[in-house]
Amino acid sequence: MTDIKTPGNGISRRQLIRKGALFAGAGLAAGLTGFPYINRMAVRAQGTPLKFWQFYAPGGQVQSQVDWFTQMISAWNDSHEQKVELEYVPNAEYINGPKLATSFASNEGPDIFLISPGDFLRYYNGGVLQDLTPHIDDATKADFPESVIANRMVDGKIYGIPMEVEPMAMYYSVKAFEEAGLNENDVPKTWDELLEVAKKLTTPNRYGVLFETTPGYYQNFTWYPFLWQGGGEFQTKDGKSAFDSPATVQALKFWQDAVNSGAAPRQVLGNGANDAVANLAAGYCAIQNVGIWGISQLAGNAKDFQYGVFKLPTPANGKYVTVGGGWAFVANAKGKSPDAAAQFCAWALASMDKGSVQRVADWCTKAKSDMPPRNSALQAGGDAFKQGNIGTFAKDIHPGTRAEPRVPPEVYKIISDAIQQTQLGGADPQQTATAASQQLDAFLASYSGAPIL
């Protein structure tokens, strides 16, 4: 997750999907120069560490996550000839900037990197994701629930190995509730109740509730549950737009009403609405829409802050559902040694070896706070998933999880624009939904990449 998903702003989204030359330079060179070239590349690859780009280590802010990554790399390097080297890319550059996408545009992409389901098609359709399936045995494949692995697969082949599942929920400040004369019995269950409680919690120095306001894959990710709760979808089963619906309109209006009422801010603090420390713990808001990773954020950087978590409220006659994102290891098919990079990804997260299973369990319980993407890791985590706020997620919140959609950048942008136009721009939700639906239909009619899920 979790899950922040912002497209590269430095290059055209249409170029990213439709111009194969964007990503193909390195692979095209190998194909034209023949077998001797490939041999030279193999020799060079063994002497040159594979670069693993991510935003956790060695320069990350959470020591437990830094330790998990560095220990994993040490274990691999101690037992394999082909070495791997971590390269830390700050969130602002990796997630909220164009660094990753533009590195492939210049044929300098990392050998191993992290992507979310929301951005999967950008890289798969660009031809840079290596097939990881040959390195994953049948027992391990079965260990990943279909709901977790499906949006990383194309034609039965696995192109990304998830390290986590990150459902969204609402977090609230116990102190803010007490100051407003509220307690856990006042936790809202409906959208109307949420806005009502948020208004009571709003003061000159604090907002009652906070949703993401910055456009990006992460904002779309956090908005999807509100669409789904009313029975809405962005596309039909036959690949046409389903965006012009009452469910879309009410979801857009709900976020708009939260801002217009003054209970929700137009801007968020810190690293964004995924940052529970800078927003909720700092007193900027009393309730925050954030994912399960917020537990480890608060434990690591606001240990004395008292808070609770509750399921996403639902609209009138709606059905509870949340969204589960999560990052996945992927290998660059155009990198120095794609097969070795693929082998590393499978070794790290997708082996029935005890070390691999425990590594996933430790990421979700010790390094971070997540639900595990593997059944064996859930068992290995033991009581950790039965206690405290993680226990609340496991028991009450996670059962309603639906996988994050994977969409091409064009689809992401149409939905993102609709959210922004209504939430902050004051546009009419119905007119916006209709216009966005027409744009979606126009694009979907000519789309020819991997299936949109």
Q: Is 221 helix (H, G, I), strand (E, B) or coil?
A: helix
Residue 62: pLDDT band with limits 50, 70, 90: confident
- Position 281, amino acid: A
CA angle 148, 273, 322 (to 5 degrees): 35
CA 285 vs. chain centroid, Å, equals 23
The predicted pLDDT at position 8 comes to 35
Q: What is the pLDDT of residues 81-102, one digit of tens each?
A: 999 999 999 987 887 778 998 9
The predicted pLDDT at position 159 comes to 98
pTM, full prediction = 0.88
Percent of the chain with pLDDT over 70: 90
Domains and CATH numbers, the chain: 13-165+326-403 (3.40.190.10), 167-323+407-444 (3.40.190.10)
pLDDT at 21 over 60: no
> What would the mean pLDDT of 180-203 be, rounded to a whole number?
97
- Position 22, amino acid: L
Six-digit token string for 134: 């040959």
> What would the mean pLDDT of 214-230 be, rounded to a whole number?
96
Q: Is 183 helix (H, G, I), strand (E, B) or coil?
A: coil
- Which of 44-48, 59-63, 200-204 holds the top average pLDDT? 200-204
DSSP state of 365: I
The rounded distance, in Å, linking the Cα atoms of 91 and 30 is 32
- Position 183, amino acid: N
Percent of the chain with pLDDT over 90: 85
pLDDT at 314 over 60: yes
429 neighbors 249 (Cβ within 8 angstroms): yes
> What would the mean pLDDT of 362-388 be, rounded to a whole number?
96
pLDDT at 104 over 60: yes
pLDDT at 306 over 70: yes
